[in-house]
């Protein structure tokens, strides 16, 4: 009997774990607009991002294109900014100070 599991089974287990984490973040309120705005404010303070650059993200519900432009410009992971996924912080490139 072979004790190894198939690649499909490993992928299924990883997907299930990611879905549980996603549901936990959702249940804890990490997907809310207020939580997104808190992350944007914290990042802006940490990196000295001008208020004009975060302005569009601070309204009722920021548009997806505005979030995408911000993430690309400041090298921020979408999963972290939108959902609060801490693994997204590990996946982003390190920020270089000017």
Region 57-72: mean pLDDT is 88
Q: What is the mean pLDDT of residues 70-97?
A: 77
Query: 24 falls in which pLDDT band (50, 70, 90)?
Result: confident
- Going by pLDDT thresholds of 50, 70 and 90, the confidence category of residue 93 is low
What is the mean predicted confidence (pLDDT) over 25-37? 79
> Each residue of 39-59: pLDDT tens digit?
999 999 999 999 999 999 988
Separation of alpha carbons 70 and 76, rounded Å: 8
**3-state DSSP: the chain helix, strand, coil percent, rounded to 5?**
65, 0, 35
Q: For tokens 């940490």, what's the residue? A: 46
């Amino acid at each position: 009997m072979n004790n190894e599991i198939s690649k499909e089974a490993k992928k299924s287990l990883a997907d299930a774990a990611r879905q549980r984490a996603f549901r936990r973040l959702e249940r804890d309120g990490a997907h809310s607009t207020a939580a997104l705005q808190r992350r944007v404010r914290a990042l802006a303070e940490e990196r000295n991002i001008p208020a004009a650059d975060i302005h569009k993200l601070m309204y009722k519900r920021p548009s997806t294109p505005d979030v995408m432009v911000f993430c690309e410009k400041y090298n921020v992971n979408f999963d972290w900014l939108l959902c609060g996924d801490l693994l997204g912080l590990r996946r982003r490139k390190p920020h270089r100070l000017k």
